[in-house]
Amino acid sequence: MKADKFEDLSGVRCPLNYAKTRMHLASMESGQTLEIILDDGPPVRNVPGSVQQEGHTILCQEKHGNQWKVVIRKA
């Protein structure tokens, strides 16, 4: 499944990675999907939870090496 939008946020620290995620979500339609790549550690511990708190859905969260692929469906 290919997401509607994609951004590689590896190397982008908190909370800028979340700010960039919010910018993408703000520009998308409800139901569209966003795939982001997050670093292991604080980014993956924080961003998906914050996204969920705003009502969006995490469709998938998988580890690839030191990075995580996270797919979000906009509420």
Check binding of 15 to another protein (CB under 8 A). yes
Q: Are the C-beta atoms of 58 and 33 separated by less than 8 Å? A: no
- What's the CA gap between 25 and 30, in Å, rounded? 9
CB of 16 to another protein, least distance (A): 5
- What's the CA gap between 31 and 47, in Å, rounded? 19
CB of 54 to another protein, least distance (A): 6
- Residue 60: active-site member: no
Number of residues binding to another protein, judged by CB under 8 A? 12
Amino acid at 45: R
Pick from 19, 41, 52, 57: which binds another protein (CB under 8 A)? Answer: 19
